[in-house]
Chain A
Amino acid sequence: MAAPMLRGCCLGRCWALACIDSGSRHGRGAATGFTSSGKRGQSFVAQQPLLTAQKSRKGEHKWAAVVGLEIHAQIASNSKLFSGSQVHFAAPPNSLVSFFDASLPGTLPVLNRRCVEAAVMTGLALNCHINKKSLFDRKHYFYADLPAGYQITQQRLPIAVNGSLAYSVCVGKKWRQVITKTVRIKQIQLEQDSGKSLHDELRSQTLIDLNRAGVGLLEVVLEPDMSCGEEAATAVRELQLILQALGTSQANMAEGQLRVDANISVHHPGEPLGVRTEVKNLNSARFLARAIDYEIQRQINELENGCEILNETRSFDYKLGCTVPMRDKEGKQDYRFMPEPNLPPLLLYDTASLPAGADPQQVINIDRIREQLPELPSETREKLIQQYGILPEHSFALLNEVGLLEFFQNVIKETRAEPKKVTSWVLNIFLGFLKQRNLAVNESPVTPSVLAELLNLLDRKVISSAAAKQVFEELWRSKGKTPSQIVSERKLELMQDEEALERVCHAVMEGHPQVVMDMKRGNPRAINKLIGLVRKVTHNRADPTVIKEILEKQLSS
């Protein structure tokens, strides 16, 4: 049963493999779910009556939703994009602010090499073309947490363009069919983060914290190739895993290291795209999916009621579960872009174009970074499938939880149990326990070697599968005990004495003549009932297959 790791995308037909949010493991309510055809770029929601407004008549056009994303990922670096200030989450307010970050007059930006390398590496991992020459621009707007009155970004010529991101969804009756979808990546640009404003409504004050001002961001622009909230959330989840594998961003949404804006429109297939809205600042994958699906539904309702969609910026009210127009017109203003005159063009090299005698500290070699690319999540999954013969959806589940893959691999190393058995235990029982208690993998009291020992006992048929689950529960309660200790203390070993088991079987049959009669009449369920009764008498210490053999032997004699 892999369901706990999977989350329903589209009612009964399309399942996303990424576990987006531990709090929401089951399919969402009907109001936000809809059907996906499973084909790339085509997802006709009208097959789902739920997605058309109640007033719609039969035979009316189907609606297609189009979703594009702008994702801001904070670069994992020691210092900011253009200054030497350190980068830390939750440091005391305004403790990580250089003269440049506070925009003191006369200060100038100096580009952080690490941030450029992170952008190149991310671009390569996302199959982008890396521009050997890219430019910086100023984007102007007045805001209290933007001290210079402009943000330095890469509007005209970004560092990486034309990439792609593959993510997978599962379809089919048993959700065993993995379908890989691709979203095109328009560009990746380097830019500065802003500071934070804290609005104190009571005192009508705004407090500014500039710790975040100037932290390096990767803005990843995904083309509108997605068609529902779940696809978007799954794509974001895959990007998150890639960034974490690369180490270019911690990509923790709760800490604001990964923030998403979604562009959403609906139209009739074959007709031009509809007017789009932008839903800003989606800081959790769950809200991302919900906000997008809400917004799609809202637009369809508006259009079917004869209203127009306004090109506007909206925000998601997670308490009400709906999108609302943003009060400030931030999305509407003219940013008056201008080249950043204090930064020369950013030039990158490959081995072929590297100038002779160049100081390695002064140049960045794209080929060198390509060589350093670590294994990407898709490759890791493929390896798991090849190496252990596990199901594709299980390979997704193993990567979705921080530390789970490592845990799994450590268990495998120390046990003779089948990889499939290990997968099932790790994904269902172990992960289920963690979720119930809201724990991370590294907080588990059960270590990989303890689980491995338990699985060895099971594998050697020392205990039954039911007893193993009992032991596992016990391990959770009494830290420090080994599985063997618990097995002997609780006398959970399987009965090895076949004669004694035969006696028990005989007694059970004597005690339940009606069931025996049923069995003789050919009711196949009756034997299971007898097996259950025998197991109960033996306190789950007998192997069901052995019991079955004995019962069948005694019946036929």
Chain B
Amino acid sequence: MLGRTLQEVSAALKQGQITPVELCQKCLSLIKKTKFLNAYITISEEVALKQAEESEKRYKKGHSLGALDGIPVAVKDNFSTSGIETTCASNMLKGYVPPYNATVVQRLLDQGAVLMGKTNLDEFAMGSGSTDGVFGPVKNPWSYSKQYREKRKQKPHGENEDSNWLITGGSSGGSAAAVSAFTCFAALGSDTGGSTRNPAAHCGIVGFKPSYGLVSRHGLIPLVNSMDVPGILTRCVDDAATVLGVLAGHDPKDSTTIQDPGKPFMLSSLTDVSKLCIGIPKEYLVPELSSEVRSFWSKAANLFESEGAKVIEVSLPHTSYSIVCYHVLCTSEVASNMARFDGLEYGHRCDIDVSTEAMYAATRREGFNDVVRGRILAGNFFLLKENYANYFIKAQKVRRLIANDFVNVFNSGVDVLLTPTTLSEAVPYLEFIKEDNRTRSAQDDIFTQAVNMAGLPAVKILLLLSQNPMPRNQNNSTLY
């Protein structure tokens, strides 16, 4: 039952093949069994069972709320959940219990979804491995697949079984692992530079980043307000569409959401791709791209072409500036957004009370990890009066150029861009941590992050399983 898609299990609930409480319990026991994955920071067992019971009553009365009623879901621990601890995997927010629900959480609950828990991430979503949170790294469920273990055994240096596990990617690695390990049917992630699509790629599931402004950010603890979007992680594309249908739409509490009521997201069973024009951005063919990913990329393109789609090479000329530009804009907004964590109103507060300033300094030193502190420092540097024009303003201009690249390509008749999500398949933890967070983030966001600059939607879908046998993936982005 847990292996089914959201749509399938929804049908099963309707037909009474399983009750919401039974489903919830199955998921809870699997969550416990897979605890070693470290996918969840908080398991909201009591709340989940209560919600499942409510759902069960509705099903018995014959008025279920819809496709999500009784469906176990998980939420990344940077979305505010009323009455449930929300930590951002940081000492700063350990023990912080928000008094309100993020709009996206509320919309899921309003549809009867059952909240299983809060999932692990890099501290304040700053990272691409889900390795830099205060609760420890998330392990990729595929590390424990039969195929992967067999493959590792063949290798001579596979001496320590425990250290051979793979990372999930990040920063929404907990949500990706939770969905991938069948502990829930959909999960919320957040996506600022690829944080939903990257772990979806490494965990072999669907990761959807909606257009900026389509889904409310109210209650999402921000990384970069101008790029953050709530992301959706599911095991198939139809499920992502179902969840998007619930989440999308104007929110009076988020002034950057679009007013347009929008249409329901119904996916036609698309078989005819002959009218589709698919762009292959030539700048994405970088030397760092692994040969395996490159070959899958061309296989995917060939597949479309053989089905009658027009596949053309396109140019996004400013792509190479994207990562540096992102670094300036991201750290600047981080410096600003993190200013509120001073230990006064909520969150961690140090014991030092010599002066208010000393209290701030110690609280923030104890509360944030090196990655967060480093970004705050860099961001404040870029925002200094003497640096603002040289860094922030220029980065904004480059961002506009990057966005225009996409506009030009889509105006030229291209419907969809086909790109890889990551440079390579998921790497083992021990290999991943050889590079620092900053380097990793810069490398890993390369294919995903320009889309955030432009506010475009993107979906990471599973195309083929690699020989490895890690999931292989492609990243599609289109204009709505």
List residues of chain A with CB under 8 Å of any chain B CB: 99, 102-111, 138, 140, 142, 144, 147-150, 206, 208, 334, 336-338, 341-344, 362
Contacts and interface: CB of A to CB of B under 8 A. Distances in A.
A148 B256 contact: no
Contact of A342 (B98, B255, B340, B356): B255
A403 to B, nearest CB: 40
Of listed A102, A110, A149, A206, residue having the most chain B CB within 10 A = A149
Nearest to B96: A105
A102 B333 contact: no
Interface in B251-301: 252-256, 259
Contacts of B254: 108, 342
A208 to B, nearest CB: 7
Contacts of B253: 108, 110
B255 A110 contact: yes
Interface in B298-344: 332-333, 335-336, 338-342, 344
A337 B225 contact: no
A111 B341 CA distance: 23
A111 B255 contact: yes
A434 to B, nearest CB: 46
A111 B388 CA distance: 27
B345 A106 contact: no
16 contacts: A103-B340, A105-B340, A106-B219, A107-B219, A109-B255, A110-B252, A111-B255, A140-B383, A142-B360, A147-B340, A336-B385, A338-B332, A338-B336, A338-B392, A342-B256, A344-B255
A478 to B, nearest CB: 58
A147 B342 CA distance: 8
A220 B13 CA distance: 62
B102 interface: yes
Contacts of B80: 104-106
Interface in B60-104: 79-80, 86, 88, 93, 96, 98-100, 102
B367 interface: no
Contacts of B225: 341-342
Contact of B385 (A206, A334, A342): A334
Nearest to B357: A142
Nearest to B220: A106
B331 to A, nearest CB: 11
Contacts, number: 100
Given A342-B256, A344-B256, A104 B342 contact: no
Of listed A108, A144, A342, residue having the most chain B CB within 10 A = A108
B212 to A, nearest CB: 11
Nearest to B102: A106
A106 B98 contact: yes
B380 interface: yes
Given A149-B342, A341-B256, A342-B255, 19 more contacts: A102-B345, A103-B345, A104-B80, A104-B99, A104-B346, A106-B79, A106-B217, A106-B218, A106-B220, A107-B219, A109-B255, A140-B383, A142-B357, A147-B344, A149-B340, A150-B336, A336-B384, A336-B385, A338-B336
Interface in B87-129: 88, 93, 96, 98-100, 102
B336 A99 contact: no
Nearest to A147: B345
A147 B360 CA distance: 12
Interface in B370-415: 380, 383-385, 388, 392
B255 A343 contact: yes
Contacts of A338: 332-333, 336, 383, 392
The 9 closest A-B pairs by CB, nearest first: A149-B339, A336-B383, A341-B225, A341-B226, A105-B221, A106-B219, A103-B340, A106-B80, A148-B340
A146 B253 CA distance: 21
B222 interface: yes
A149 B86 CA distance: 21
A107 B98 CA distance: 11
Contacts of A337: 383, 388
Contacts of B93: 105
B26 to A, nearest CB: 31
A142 B356 CA distance: 10
Contact of B344 (A99, A138, A144): A144
Contacts of A208: 344
Nearest to A205: B353
